[in-house]
Chains A and B, each alone.
Chain A
Amino acid sequence: MTERLNVVGTCVPRHDALAKVTGSARYLADLPCADAWVGGALWSEVPRARLRGIALGEGFDWSRVTVVTASDLPGPNEVHMVKDDYPILADREVSYVGQALALVAAPDETTLKEALACLGPNLEELPPVLTVEASLAGEAIIWGEDNVQAKYVVEHGDVEAAFSRSDLVIEETYRTHHQEHLYLETNGMLARPGADGGVTVDGSLQCPYYVARALAHALALPLDKVVLRQTETGGAFGGKEDYPSVIAVQAALLAMKAGRPVRMILERSEDIDVTTKRHPSIIRHRTGVTRDGVILAADIDILFDGGAFSTMSPVVLSRGVLHAWSAYRLPNARIVGRALATNTAPNGAFRGFGAPQTIFAMERQMDLVARRLGMSPLEVRRKNLLKAGDTLPCGQVLRSAHAELVLDRALALSGYGRKHGGHESDDRVLRGTGLSVFLHGGGFTGAGEEKIAGSAAVEAMDDGTVDVLVSSTEMGQGAATVLPQIAAEVLALPCDRVRHPNPDTSRVPDSGPTVASRTTMMVGRILLDAAADMRKKLTEFAAARSGADSNSIEWRDGRLSSDGKDLGAFEDLAKLYKKQYGKPLRGEAQYDPPLDCQWSEEEYRGDAYKDYAWACDVVEVEIDADTLELRIPRTTSVVEIGRAIHPVLAEGQVAGGTLQALGWGAMEDVKMEKGRYRNNSVSTYIIPTAVDAPDFRIEIAEAPSPYGPWGAKGLGELPMDGGAPALAAAVEDALGVFATELPLTSDRLHALLQRDDRGGDRR
């Protein structure tokens, strides 16, 4: 791939921009469907109970609506995900506030609300398990045999011997809290029963085939009777990876029973109450270091709050465990991760997928090591940064590592060396600067990509354009532009001649879910091969037609030529191809596993990810000396992502992801009381607004990877990982307090300062 690039690396206009900027983009609620009924659910108000039945109240004419309870299900009462433990509807047992007890479809919203209010669940409350600690203690067994939804152990070297060689052993426990996705479009689905007994579902989602399979499983239908079509999706961030399967199944059940289309869209409060969130965590670190700051041993114990059912928790936990070292060498390590069940709404996928929690803990621990040794956070990091050739605790030998590169650039850009410890604070404002260095594995963990074995296709359309056929969705991140760029580059077409229609499972092959920062790196690579397959087919066709040697055929600016002789335009040749073969010109490819990556799930050891993207965040804070109100005027992020296919979109991922990370770190605060989210509205769950956004200084570094298209690596989640710990370090620089817990609200800062005043902070 040394040829000059025409499309890759350029900033073509977003393909979805025109529709979005003129208001013509159709999100789920915008789809016309006049005969659709409105679907809704009766949600549990209690965290744990026996369900003895649901009475249809008198005084309501139940013939006006359709009701579905657990006894109406045509298939298993399971929403098919990683494990099949998530019930579609509560049956006998209720496990969290917000669990669906019954479904109702009605001609309009007023009737729906009336009907829901007349349903009488007969519940016998049981003592709930509301915290990870209570779950671990086994106060009640609410999941499996021991409440443990998943467990992973990584062991590397001789940990105990390394601890005994250490000059100092430093121990601390870190806690992180829920985070709500707050995508601006809530979860929603529109299900239409088909004449053939099948179902067609339109929805706001990330993973068409996840949902299609969940529908087939729950409705006891063959997969080919289920059609899933993604609508324009108003943000997702992981929050439309797992829950769409739940609401799609629920909407489809209503539609099948009602015999008409049913649209189910969650209101904002419902969406916050019942959908998944980022797993809260409790992470204990014990680190053995030499006097001069070299880490010899690490013992890391990770607990994630999985909530009532496991959703994606096993895989989220796995990624958390396999990012627990952040960007540092742990020559001897024992890492144990467990996801525990509680009687709270199931937690699930959220950008970063377990890594933000474990990286927060590791980065904080590095700051603590520095504090204890009287060294600077920078110095301690430098001594332990991963380098090419290093072995990760999971046994992976790094072929490349760019921690030093991103750190050096971020230092140069941000002026960290000058600012850290040397801020001019005054009576009014206390200033501080902190940094984090981290990595993020692109694509599925372990052998996940091999298991998915994704496919992609490109097809020449009659209007002269080419369609990218993949199940990867556009949800704002830019897939509908970046994927066409990749195909356009291979096919020497202008980018606007290649389109990425919203996936429809009756048309697109399964290229896997739109998750794990895999779309550009993994699906993009398969797509590149599919486009190359199309190119080869048309080259051979043009050669046979013209008598030219196929090796002599060149593709340029949408035309094919041989030795300077024009053979025709791409679209004309594609039409001739279709005429001759009776089918459109198509290129296809399937994932080709790299032979140099090996992973053993049994041993939980090997190449955890095909490759890693690297980043360094520097966060600057200004804290009001009286109110402790925290402002973030500036951040610097240097990301090494192999190759930016579209630099502006790549920067957009960095800025947006960093702000989500800072929101999580500074202000987003899910309040929970007796298993119920107290702040279930946009006015009480506060996310960063326009006045909160810092000036982002962003630099993209490119060290091409052998695995992605033109060297591209995963990017989407990386910026979520480092903002919170860098923020905590900046607060430490400004106030001198060492925070082990998020979010860093004024209240928390006040408590930390008081503890310091009392001499309570012995760190």
Chain B
Amino acid sequence: MKRDVNFILNGRPVTLSVEPRTTLLRALREYGVTSVKRGCEEGECGTCTLVIDDLAQKSCMVLALEVEGKSVLTVEGLVAPNGDLHPLQQAFVEEGAIQCGFCTPGMIMTAYAFLRKNPDPTEAEVREALAGNLCRCTGYIPIFRAVMKAAKTMRELGSHPGAAR
């Protein structure tokens, strides 16, 4: 039997009707938010990562009903209303941090939640933070470079943009 779940998705209130066993990953994809990817559906690869109330979470490990009243942010929600990319997205483009792109949205969301907590990280801290997101293409180093660059940009801006929530 389907039940309604109400939450904020990328800054807008939504109501989805879901079976209780439906994961947030599947519910969002069904709703048309396809940046969250099905890479393993066992919480290991990180391609479905999104941010729930400031915390990076693997959406295949969260039931849709669990986000009742919460705020959910995906990579679509990082783009400013005028179309400007978030500094993290911009840095990923500039630093060669993208290849096949399948890990990219999840990687960015993990980095986003991490930089909110730690705006001036060392590379070792970035590595630790991203250890739950697999990338099979880049060798990771360009991703670290992108996160460090975005962190610097955001510190210079003195704000953490893209918080559409």
Q: Which residues of A contact B (CB under 8 A)?
A: 11, 13-14, 16-27, 29-30, 181-186, 232-237, 267-268, 475-478, 648-649, 651-652, 655-660, 681-683, 687-691, 693, 695-696
- The answer to whether A30 and B34 have CB atoms under 8 Å apart is yes
- The answer to whether A235 and B137 have CB atoms under 8 Å apart is yes
Judged by DSSP, the binding face of B is loop
Would you list the 8 A-B pairs with minimal beta carbon distance, nearest first?
A: A23-B35, A476-B100, A234-B102, A20-B101, A655-B139, A476-B99, A682-B44, A30-B34
Q: Contacting B99 at CB < 8 Å: which of A26, A477, A658, A687?
A: A477
- The answer to whether A234 and B101 have CB atoms under 8 Å apart is yes
Of the candidate stretches B1-9, B63-71, B141-149, B151-159, the one touching chain A is: B141-149
Given contacts A22-B85, A687-B136, A691-B131, contact A184 B143 (CB under 8 A): no
- The answer to whether B128 and A21 have CB atoms under 8 Å apart is no
Q: Please give, as numbers and ranges, the residues of chain A lying within 8 Å of B132 by CB-CB distance.
A: 689
Q: Whole-angstrom distance between the alpha carbons of A649 and B108 in the complex?
A: 20
Q: Please give, as numbers and ranges, the residues of chain B lying within 8 Å of A18 by CB-CB distance.
A: 85, 93
Q: Whole-angstrom distance between the alpha carbons of A488 and B126 in the complex?
A: 37
- The answer to whether B134 and A682 have CB atoms under 8 Å apart is yes
Q: Whole-angstrom distance between the alpha carbons of A689 and B103 in the complex?
A: 12
Judged by DSSP, the binding face of A is loop
Say if the beta carbon of B13 comes within 8 Å of chain A. Answer: no
Give per-residue flags for B67-102: 1 if the beta carbon is below 8 A from chain A beta carbons, else 0: 000000011101100000100010011101011111
Q: How far is the CB of B80 from chain A (nearest CB, A)?
A: 11
Q: Whole-angstrom distance between the alpha carbons of A468 and B95 in the complex?
A: 25
Q: Contacting A683 at CB < 8 Å: which of B42, B103, B104, B139?
A: B42
Q: Which residues of B contact A (CB under 8 A)?
A: 29, 33-35, 37-42, 44-45, 47, 74-76, 78-79, 85, 89, 92-94, 96, 98-105, 108, 126-128, 130-144
Q: By CB atoms of chain B within 10 A, which of A25, A233, A649 has the most?
A: A25
Q: How far is the CB of A190 from chain B (nearest CB, A)?
A: 14
Q: Please give, as numbers and ranges, the residues of chain A lying within 8 Å of B100 by CB-CB distance.
A: 183-185, 233-236, 475-476
Given contacts A21-B85, A29-B38, A689-B131, contact A656 B45 (CB under 8 A): no
Q: How far is the CB of B161 from chain A (nearest CB, A)?
A: 15
- The answer to whether B141 and A696 have CB atoms under 8 Å apart is yes
A-B contacts, 23 listed (Cβ < 8 Å): A14-B96, A14-B98, A19-B101, A20-B101, A21-B85, A22-B78, A22-B89, A24-B35, A30-B34, A232-B101, A233-B100, A234-B100, A235-B100, A268-B40, A476-B99, A652-B99, A682-B40, A689-B131, A690-B130, A690-B135, A693-B139, A693-B140, A695-B141
Q: Please give, as numbers and ranges, the residues of chain A lying within 8 Å of B140 by CB-CB distance.
A: 659, 688-690, 693
Q: Please give, as numbers and ranges, the residues of chain A lying within 8 Å of B85 by CB-CB distance.
A: 18, 21-22
Q: Please give, as numbers and ranges, the residues of chain A lying within 8 Å of B44 by CB-CB distance.
A: 681-683
Q: Whole-angstrom distance between the alpha carbons of A14 and B140 in the complex?
A: 17
Q: How far is the CB of B84 from chain A (nearest CB, A)?
A: 11
Q: How far is the CB of A492 from chain B (nearest CB, A)?
A: 25
- The answer to whether B98 and A682 have CB atoms under 8 Å apart is no
Number of A-B contacts (CB under 8 A): 163
Q: Please give, as numbers and ranges, the residues of chain B lying within 8 Å of A693 by CB-CB distance.
A: 127, 139-141
Q: Whole-angstrom distance between the alpha carbons of A689 and B139 in the complex?
A: 9
- The answer to whether A23 and B134 have CB atoms under 8 Å apart is no
Q: Contacting A655 at CB < 8 Å: which of B76, B101, B142?
A: B142
Q: How far is the CB of B125 from chain A (nearest CB, A)?
A: 11
Q: Please give, as numbers and ranges, the residues of chain B lying within 8 Å of A186 by CB-CB distance.
A: 39
Q: Please give, as numbers and ranges, the residues of chain B lying within 8 Å of A688 by CB-CB distance.
A: 140
- The answer to whether B47 and A184 have CB atoms under 8 Å apart is yes
Q: By CB atoms of chain B within 10 A, which of A11, A22, A476 has the most?
A: A22
Given contacts A181-B136, A660-B136, 17 further A-B contacts (CB under 8 A): A14-B96, A19-B101, A22-B76, A23-B75, A23-B105, A24-B35, A182-B134, A184-B45, A233-B100, A236-B100, A268-B40, A476-B137, A656-B99, A682-B45, A687-B136, A690-B128, A695-B141
Given contacts A184-B47, A689-B134, A690-B144, contact A649 B42 (CB under 8 A): no
Q: Whole-angstrom distance between the alpha carbons of A155 and B1 in the complex?
A: 71
Q: Contacting A184 at CB < 8 Å: which of B75, B136, B139, B144?
A: B136
Q: Please give, as numbers and ranges, the residues of chain B lying within 8 Å of A182 by CB-CB distance.
A: 134, 136
- The answer to whether B139 and A656 have CB atoms under 8 Å apart is yes
- The answer to whether A23 and B138 have CB atoms under 8 Å apart is no
Q: How far is the CB of A141 from chain B (nearest CB, A)?
A: 38
Q: Whole-angstrom distance between the alpha carbons of A236 and B137 in the complex?
A: 9
Q: Please give, as numbers and ranges, the residues of chain A lying within 8 Å of B134 by CB-CB distance.
A: 182, 184, 682, 687, 689
Q: How far is the CB of B148 from chain A (nearest CB, A)?
A: 13
- The answer to whether B139 and A17 have CB atoms under 8 Å apart is no
- The answer to whether A13 and B94 have CB atoms under 8 Å apart is yes
- The answer to whether B41 and A476 have CB atoms under 8 Å apart is no
Q: How far is the CB of B10 from chain A (nearest CB, A)?
A: 10
Q: Which residue of B lies closest to A26 (CB)?
A: B34
Q: How far is the CB of B11 from chain A (nearest CB, A)?
A: 15
Q: Whole-angstrom distance between the alpha carbons of A24 and B105 in the complex?
A: 10
Q: Contacting A476 at CB < 8 Å: which of B38, B101, B108, B143?
A: B101
